[in-house]
Amino acid sequence: MSLDFMICTLLGDAVPHPSTDWLAVLLSIPIGLFTSLVFWLITPKLEPILFKWGIWKTQAQEREYRQIERFKNEPELFTQFLVHVTIKTVLIGAVGTTLVIFCYLISEYGDIYAKTEQAKFPFRLVWMGARWISGATGIVLVIVSSQALSVWTKVTHFDTYKKALGRT
């Protein structure tokens, strides 16, 4: 979306005119000054937070390396991890599917037995909730699976992982 179009929309014109270029230039100067002032006000407050976040990230990476190294050295522990992830995935999928089916049955009951459109409204909300539950279940399953796949890849290719971290 061009700046000319946005300015014309603000001014109520349908078509951009070359005469609006001066307005774009005039607006860009205060916006640039405001942005630079806000940046300098916020930066000192963000530095300690970003520093702490960097330390936390480094500690998390160290913990992850130790866990991956332990999984590499103790294959039975890694197998337990994979079984745990499998059970977690199955349980999340089963609970999500059960909730979606339950919500679907409630909404179908409402569509069949509710006499007016106003009476059907709460049941349609339940159906909408079922769609949200279904989506959330899928997202959680993808997150759990991708984390497990990441760990599996690092354990399987441990030498490459170790080299990428700069460890010998």
The per-residue pLDDT string of the chain (168 residues; one tens digit each, 9 = 90 and over) reads 555 555 555 555 555 555 667 777 788 888 888 888 888 888 888 888 989 999 999 999 999 999 999 999 999 999 999 999 999 999 999 999 999 998 888 888 877 777 777 777 788 888 888 889 999 999 999 999 999 999 999 999 999 999 998 886
The total number of structural domains that make up the chain? 2
Q: Are residues 81 and 68 in the same domain?
A: no
Kindly report, residue by residue over 85-96, the tens digit of the pLDDT: 999 999 999 999
Claim to verify: residue 22 and residue 65 sit in the same structural domain: yes
Asked if 69 and 79 sit in the same domain, the reply is no
pTM assigned to the model:
0.63
Q: Position of tokens 């050295």?
A: 73
Same-domain check for residues 43 and 82? no
5 and 63 in a single domain? The answer is yes
Residues 54-100 have pLDDT tens digits of 999 999 999 999 999 999 999 999 999 999 999 999 999 999 999 99
